[in-house]
Amino acid sequence: MIDNLILGFQTAATPENLLWCFLGVFLGTVIGLLPGLGSTTGVAVLLPLTFAFEPVTALILLAGIYYGAQYGGTITSVLIATPGEAASVVTTIDGYQMARKGRGGAALAIAAIGSFIAAILSLALLMTLAPPLAQLAVRFGPAENLAIMILGLVIVITFQGGKLVRGAMMAMVGLLLAAVGVSTGFGEARFTFGDTNLLSGIPFVEVTIGLFALGEVLHQIRVGAAAPIKTSFREMMISGKDVRRSLPAILRGSGVGFVLGILPGAGSTLASFMAYGIERRVSRNKENFGRGAIEGVASPESANNAAANANFIPTLSLGIPGGATTAVLLGAFTIYGLQPGPLLFETQPALVWGLLVSFFIGNVVLLLLNLPLAPVFAQMLRVPYGYLYPVILLTSIIGAYAVSNNTFSIWIVLVFGIIGWIMKEIDLPMAPLVLGLVLGPLLEKALVQTSAAGAGNLGILFTSPISATMLALGAALVIAPVVIRRARARVAARRAAERQASSFIDS
Amino acid sequence: MKSPSTLYAGSALVISAVLLTGCASQNSQSEGEFAPSGNVVVTVPFAAGGGSDVSGRAVAAGLEEATGLSITVENREGGAGAVGYAHFQGQEGRDNALLAAELALVSLPLSQEVGFDYTSFTPIMNLGSDYALLVTAGDSEFETCADVVEATRSETVVTAVSGATGIDAITISLVEQDQDVEFDRIPYESGGEVVAALLGGHVDVAPLNPSEVAGQLESGDLRALCAFSEERYEYEQLADVPTAAEQGIDVAFSQFRGFIAPGGISDEAREYWIAAAETYAESDAYRSYIEDNMMQPNALFGDDFVAFLEETNADVQAALG
């Protein structure tokens, strides 16, 4: 273990590699800042450039881009409510509220710190436990995956607090929208009305851009443009108190992210939503969630970073990509003449450990680069909104086009921009809709697979201990608050009755 | 999920190219009089990172070397390839557009209303063939494909298939027709998911391309029972895998990979691309693409490629029923 780490550091920590890592993080951050472009695209686009390098240097550069792009997406989520990827949708809920209160710098800083802590913890677990964890992950079959998705949806719906019905409604709308397109397993086109563009379904990145960016701009125009944020540079900085307050959220987020990240397919989006949902229930500061709670930024950001790292567990120890970006990286392995698979740890120790160490270095560089820059980025909000709005509109539309090089995407953004505005006006939550849309195809796939595996019988959902436990947990989440409220009401009623009775006796 | 855009991809590439070396410019030669107008774009109708993307990027790099032109790759994924092909149909007559084609070119029009088929385009070059191996878990009781077929007669055998009209589904259908048996199918969406399902014991067998399972075969976590190819593989790791025909199952089916130009291009443009493809086929880049992906080389150009597509079309039609 120690020998391997030393080997890794020897391979990765050369001045040349550090320079490329730094450049990679920088380029990645720039790519992530552009709406619609995320880490997968960044890695895929810059992949050919790395062919001229040694494999280790190339992978370090790519790892830098990967982490940089994820963070870049966070910056836009917080500052202008435009998430670059589905995994940073939840961050906008509290991040943007913080930015509106002049605490954008702190939100960005805690995102960087949270991501860093999550990365270090998950990398340590990855280095020590990858092969056994991977063996555990493949035990998750269709039934277990289906149960996880259901649990995820329940957590997200119930985290809306008093708006349970509205949250459930929007999640269902999201699931319905996800039904558009070619169906899993049968390959039939549904609700496409003969339009080729709709064959691939309603694209969630464009929907997210529309709902959040365009919807917010339209809403702001109606309520009257808010004054630019006036705070001193000092207030933009993060305080020690902020960090202490966020620490439990970061640790819980890392845990949730890591567990979901190991499972191929579940991915970092579900992880960030679930971490937020859990935090909203257990945090001491829960009443401030949705109004700019720093824990609401720390927890999903830690979760998606931990999930991104845990994604490498199936990738490195089984040769199975855990997510879109790792699939691209796995492709890169073959191009460098490496054979991804269970033997990679044994046949290429210098490379694997070099890569793991470079993940570590990438995260350190990311923190060093972005912690001082966070207040600087946040200064952007000093620009009067009259100037900022056109820029947001322009980047949203260019970003949407960039997703698929297709004008169809622009229409999606416009339509969902208007829908997002209406939803804001009548106070409907948008996050469950996005999650429904993202989870829809995965849920359907798990459902079709479970039903195929059980020959049309979904009974295996209840006979598998893992999925039965998760379903029970989901049911408890829905029922428990009602039961507790009833119980409390009954106790209160009894006390009131007793008081009345006693006062009657007294008089 | 997402795909690079010309705009951002271009600018990112330019920025980084400058950062890297300040690359020397190319533009060395041009064959004959004709040359495609403007920047050449290779459309990949699938997401970055998949097999189609790898072949599209290999073609772009190889043709760049062969022609001295600057060639970029654009991913337009969606609808199992339909979105990319439909977009490419809109490029009719353009001599600076190419598309990294594979089985979807034939199987999509046979299974969906997409408004195009392989005759809508100008086929340029077939690169090679990718066959499926029938793979099972290392500790499985099956030793041959004949065992698997025999087992389906007395019990349920669950197979994974990725894509409703992909090579997996077609190969399994052909086996079912040839042997008059029936498999239980669980649909998956990528080779990686299928490998996970095999390792986790959620399916009994699965057809997979050699490049998708080479690592697991080497480690012994998975075993290949037979190859659905006409002849045995020559690659060292696969030379011991018998063909299905050797085990009494007369099924051989391959997924081709190649590239096509839009319909309605001039004869000069077609000749130009065929000449460039022939130069590419002679290069080391072509050989290493085929070998890295454990494919069987099968370079066919122009009319030969068209004839090959006609044959494939008939096969797929028969398999999909």
The domain that contains B118 carries what CATH number?
3.40.190.150
pLDDT digits (tens, 9 = 90+) for A98-114: 988 888 889 999 999 99
B23 falls in which pLDDT band (50, 70, 90)? Answer: very low
Q: Has residue A68 been placed in a domain?
A: yes
Of B247, B233, B103, nearest to B171 by C-alpha is: B103
Place of tokens 């997409």: B114
Is A212:A93 a contact under the CB 8 Å cutoff? no
Q: What is the dihedral of CA A189, A195, A201, A205, to 10 degrees?
A: 170
Cβ neighbors of A262 (< 8 A, separation 6 or more) are A133, A134, A136, A137, A310, A311, A313, A314, A322
Q: Has residue A484 been placed in a domain?
A: no
Name chain B contacts of A199, Cβ cutoff 8 Å. 78-80, 82-83, 112
Instruction: Measure the CA–CA gap between B253 and B228, rounded to whole angstroms.
Output: 6
Is B44:B4 a contact under the CB 8 Å cutoff? no
Range of the domain at A167: 2-463
Residue type at A25 in one-letter notation: V
pLDDT digits (tens, 9 = 90+) for B227-260: 999 999 989 889 999 999 999 999 999 889 999 9
Same-domain status, B63 and B124? yes
In the predicted model, what is the mean pLDDT of residues A167-172? 89
Name chain A contacts of B200, Cβ cutoff 8 Å. 138-141
A401 or A1, which is more confident? A401
Instruction: Measure the CA–CA gap between A43 and A296, rounded to whole angstroms.
Output: 28
Write the DSSP symbol of residue B100: E
- Compare all CA atoms of chain B with the CA of A40 and give the residue at the minimum distance: B2
Q: What is the DSSP string of A384-425?
A: -HHHHHHHHHHHHHHHHHHHHT-HHHHHHHHHHHHHHHHHHH
Test the B interface: residue of A26, A191, A200 with most B CBs within 10 Å: A200
Range of the domain at B284: 6-129+256-320
Determine which of A181-195, B106-120, B203-217 has the lowest per-residue pLDDT on average: A181-195
- Compare all CA atoms of chain A with the CA of B161 and give the residue at the minimum distance: A185
Instruction: Measure the CA–CA gap between B32 and B272, rounded to whole angstroms.
Output: 8
Q: At what angle do helices A349-378 and A55-80 cross, to 10 degrees?
A: 30
Q: Has residue A485 been placed in a domain?
A: no
B182 falls in which pLDDT band (50, 70, 90)? Answer: very high
Name chain A contacts of B83, Cβ cutoff 8 Å. 196-197, 199-200, 404, 406
Is B46:B74 a contact under the CB 8 Å cutoff? no
B267 falls in which pLDDT band (50, 70, 90)? Answer: very high
CA distance B102 to chain A (A): 17
Name chain A contacts of B199, Cβ cutoff 8 Å. 138, 318, 320
Of B65, B68, B28, B73, nearest to B47 by C-alpha is: B73
The predicted structure's pLDDT at residue A505: 62
Q: Has residue B1 been placed in a domain?
A: no
CA distance B26 to chain A (A): 16
Model ipTM?
0.78
Q: Has residue A489 been placed in a domain?
A: no
Q: Has residue A500 been placed in a domain?
A: no
Residue type at A284 in one-letter notation: R
Write the DSSP symbol of residue A228: P
Count of CB atoms situated within 10 Å of the CB of A222 = 10
> Distance from first CA to last CA of chain B, Å, rounded?
32
Is A9:A2 a contact under the CB 8 Å cutoff? no
Is B171:B133 a contact under the CB 8 Å cutoff? no
The predicted structure's pLDDT at residue B140: 94
Same-domain status, B62 and B200? no
Provide the number of CB pairs (under 8 Å) joining chain A to chain B: 201
A56 falls in which pLDDT band (50, 70, 90)? Answer: confident
Determine which of A212-216, A222-226, A468-472 has the lowest per-residue pLDDT on average: A222-226
Pairing of strands A189-190, A181-182: antiparallel
pLDDT digits (tens, 9 = 90+) for B305-315: 999 999 999 98
Q: Which of A84-88, A378-382, B265-269 has the highest mean pLDDT?
A: B265-269
Instruction: Measure the CA–CA gap between B250 and B272, rounded to whole angstroms.
Output: 40
Same-domain status, B166 and B270? no
- pTM of the full predicted structure? 0.80
Of A324, A359, A405, A317, nearest to A44 by C-alpha is: A324
CB of A131 within 8 Å of a chain B CB? The answer is no
Place of tokens 């081709």: B256
CB of A307 within 8 Å of a chain B CB? The answer is no
Average pLDDT of chain B to the nearest whole number:
85
Of B79, B108, B55, nearest to B316 by C-alpha is: B108
Domain total for chain A? Answer: 1
Same-domain status, B81 and B177? no
The predicted structure's pLDDT at residue B19: 43
The predicted structure's pLDDT at residue B11: 47
A383 or A301, which is more confident? A301
Is A155:A303 a contact under the CB 8 Å cutoff? no
In the predicted model, what is the mean pLDDT of residues B132-139? 94
Of B68, B55, B129, nearest to B98 by C-alpha is: B55
Instruction: Measure the CA–CA gap between A266 and A260, rounded to whole angstroms.
Output: 6
The predicted structure's pLDDT at residue B13: 43
Q: Has residue A368 been placed in a domain?
A: yes
Test the A interface: residue of B6, B7, B8 with most A CBs within 10 Å: B8
CA distance B289 to chain A (A): 9
Q: What are B261's strand-pairing partners?
A: B122
The tokens describing A174, both together, are 């999201």
Cβ–Cβ below 8 Å for A318 and B199: yes
Average pLDDT of chain A to the nearest whole number:
83
Query: For a pLDDT cut of 90, what percent of chain A falls above it?
Result: 15
A303 or A88, which is more confident? A303
Q: Which of A193-197, A234-238, B22-26, B209-213 has the highest mean pLDDT?
A: B209-213
- Compare all CA atoms of chain B with the CA of A334 and give the residue at the minimum distance: B292
Supply angle C-alpha A342, A343, A346, rounded to 5. 135
Same-domain status, B140 and B230? yes
Asked if pLDDT for residue B24 goes beyond 50, the answer is no
Among B252, B274, B295, residue at a domain's last position: B252
Same-domain status, B227 and B141? yes
Asked if pLDDT for residue B174 goes beyond 80, the answer is yes
The predicted structure's pLDDT at residue B183: 94
Q: Has residue B68 been placed in a domain?
A: yes
Among B252, B272, B301, residue at a domain's last position: B252
**CB-nearest partner of A142 from B75, B202, B221:** B202
Same-domain status, B118 and B26? yes
Same-domain status, B34 and B140? no
Same-domain status, B22 and B121? yes
- Compare all CA atoms of chain A with the CA of B60 and give the residue at the minimum distance: A48
The CATH number for B212's domain is 3.40.190.10
Print burial letters for A73-83: b (CB count within 10 Å at least 16), e (below 16): bbbbbbbbbbb
Asked if pLDDT for residue A50 goes beyond 80, the answer is no
CB of A443 within 8 Å of a chain B CB? The answer is no
Same-domain status, B215 and B100? no
The predicted structure's pLDDT at residue A161: 60
The tokens describing A308, both together, are 């991104």
Instruction: Measure the CA–CA gap between A453 and B215, rounded to whole angstroms.
Output: 27
Same-domain status, B176 and B218? yes
Phi, psi of B254 (to 5 degrees): -125, 155
Cβ–Cβ below 8 Å for B215 and A344: yes
Domain total for chain B? Answer: 2
Cβ–Cβ below 8 Å for B6 and A405: yes
β-sheet with B222-227: strand ranges across: B184-188, B158-162, B205-208, B133-137, B222-227
**CB-nearest partner of B2 from A339, A403, A445:** A403
The predicted structure's pLDDT at residue B32: 52
Instruction: Measure the CA–CA gap between A282 and A260, rounded to whole angstroms.
Output: 19
In the predicted model, what is the mean pLDDT of residues B106-132? 90
Among B195, B226, B252, residue at a domain's last position: B252
Cβ–Cβ below 8 Å for B5 and A321: no
Same-domain status, B10 and B125? yes
A223 or B144, which is more confident? B144
Cβ neighbors of A159 (< 8 A, separation 6 or more) are A167, A276, A277, A280, A281
**CB-nearest partner of B4 from A41, A142, A184:** A41
The predicted structure's pLDDT at residue A337: 67
**CB-nearest partner of B83 from A200, A334, A403:** A200
Phi, psi of B236 (to 5 degrees): -50, -45
Name chain B contacts of A343, Cβ cutoff 8 Å. 215, 218-219
Q: Has residue A476 been placed in a domain?
A: no
Q: Has residue A478 been placed in a domain?
A: no
Asked if pLDDT for residue A299 goes beyond 90, the answer is yes
